[in-house]
Structure formats: structure tokens, C-alpha cells
């Protein structure tokens, strides 16, 4: 199953990040570009993992305003990288299933396979960090118990989401569903479409 591979890669990425556990550590992809899908999944989760920790840092109430603005720019750039990776992954699937004969009456899904993968990557991060909280030795029994309850729900959610993604891919492979890649038409990064940026030209 595709998601068995994806979930394993996500867990490997998150574990690798936390060895050094700093947002400015160098990135090395564990997969060559010739292993395209694995390469994209690894990079996707690394982007998500770094951004997860950016989001933690920027919520520090004592953060220096100048540092916060710099970090906000990094988060913006990370969001763009995240969106780009989703589109690359969808393009991979679109190419993979390009020769499938779509059946009459086939339908399109509410989200593409890669946006499901995006949610699965974020879910892997939630599970990792909720497990940390559920096993914290310096936390109260009540805190650990509450976090364990949340962790159980997240684990169930991963099973459900994984099943949904694998089912969608099978439906596309057999022509019961079809997919399209809609490039994100974000306006706030575009000098011509963001009126604030346009006014500064």
C-alpha cells in the first residue's frame, strides 16, 4: 500500500530531524531523485517538520519583534515550498495514471491525492509530538492521560486517512475516479496581484 511506505518515510524524517532538533540544520534527502516518489515524500515531510518548529518559536511571547518578522518571512517561504511539493507529488500521480481509461460516470474527489498526503504528513508530526507529551516524565498524571487519549484518536485518524488515500489511488488506477492538478493561484505573493506589493512598484 502506498501509505504504508509514506507513513514509514514520514516517521524516518521526523526521527532524523529530532537528532539535532534545530530549524537551521542542513537537509540531506535520504532518497535519490531517481526514486522520485520517495524523494518527494521525504522532502515534503522535512519542510513540514521544520515549519512545525518555526510555528512553535514564533509563538514565544518574548520573541524579539525583528526576529519574529524574519521568522514570519521564513514561514511564508516554507508555505510556498510546501504547496510546490504537493503539486510535484500530484504531478507524479497524474503521470503515473495518465494511461488509465477513465470509466463513464467516473467522479473527481474533493481533494487530490497529494493534499491527502499533506494531511498525512502533518498527522505524523501531531502523533510524534503528542506521544512526547503522553510520555513526559515531568508532567502530571492528568496531563499524560489527557494526551494519551488524544494520541489514541490521532492514531485512529491515521488509519482512516491512510485507508482513504489508498482507496482513492486504487479508484484512480481502475478508472472509477479521475484527478486534476490545479496549480495554487495564490495572490499575496504576486507583485501584480497583491495590491500592497503592486503599489510599491
Tens digits of residue pLDDT in 24-80? 999 999 999 999 999 999 999 999 999 999 999 999 999 999 999 999 999 999 999
Helix (H, G, I), strand (E, B) or coil at 179: coil
- Count of beta carbons in the 10 Å neighbourhood of residue 112: 22
Could you tell me the three cell numbers for 165?
Answer: 488515500
Distance of alpha carbon 186 from alpha carbon 146, whole angstroms: 38
The CB-side HSE value for 123 (13 A sphere, CA atoms) comes to 21
Q: How high is the pLDDT of residue 193?
A: 67
Mean pLDDT of the chain: 94
Q: Which residue has the cell 488515500?
A: 165
Q: With the C-alpha atoms ordered 63, 69, 75, 79, is the resulting torsion angle positive or negative?
A: positive
Distance of alpha carbon 72 from alpha carbon 82, whole angstroms: 15
* Helix, strand and coil percent figures for the chain, each rounded to 5: 65, 0, 30
Radius of gyration of the chain (CA): 19
Q: Which residue has the cell 513526559?
A: 136
The whole model's pTM is what?
Answer: 0.91
Q: Please state the separation of Cα 72 from the chain's center in Å.
A: 19
Distance of alpha carbon 120 from alpha carbon 139, whole angstroms: 28
Q: Please state the separation of Cα 168 from the chain's center in Å.
A: 18
Taken as a whole, the chain contains a residue count of 201
Q: How high is the pLDDT of residue 133?
A: 98
Amino acid at each position: 500500500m502506498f501509505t504504508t511506505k509514506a507513513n514509514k518515510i514520514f516517521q524516518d524524517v521526523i526521527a532524523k530531524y529530532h537528532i539535532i532538533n534545530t530549524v537551521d540544520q542542513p537537509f540531506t534527502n535520504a532518497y535519490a531523485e531517481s526514486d522520485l516518489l520517495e524523494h518527494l515524500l521525504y522532502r515534503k515531510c522535512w519542510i513540514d517538520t521544520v515549519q512545525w518548529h518555526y510555528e512553535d518559536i514564533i509563538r514565544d511571547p518574548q520573541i524579539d519583534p525583528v526576529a519574529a518578522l524574519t521568522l514570519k518571512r521564513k514561514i511564508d517561504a516554507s508555505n510556498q515550498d510546501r504547496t510546490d511539493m504537493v503539486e510535484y507529488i500530484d504531478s507524479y500521480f497524474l503521470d503515473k495514471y495518465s494511461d488509465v481509461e477513465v470509466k463513464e460516470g467516473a467522479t473527481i474527489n474533493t481533494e487530490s491525492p497529494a493534499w491527502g498526503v499533506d494531511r498525512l504528513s502533518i498527522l505524523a508530526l501531531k502523533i510524534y509530538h503528542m506521544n512526547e507529551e503522553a510520555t513526559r516524565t515531568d508532567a502530571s498524571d492528568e496531563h499524560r492521560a489527557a494526551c494519551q487519549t488524544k494520541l489514541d484518536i490521532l492514531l485512529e485518524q491515521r488509519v482512516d486517512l491512510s485507508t482513504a488515500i489508498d482507496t482513492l489511488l486504487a479508484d484512480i488506477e481502475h478508472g472509477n475516479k479521475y484527478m486534476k492538478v490545479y496549480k495554487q493561484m495564490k495572490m499575496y505573493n504576486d507583485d501584480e496581484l497583491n495590491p500592497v506589493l503592486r503599489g510599491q512598484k
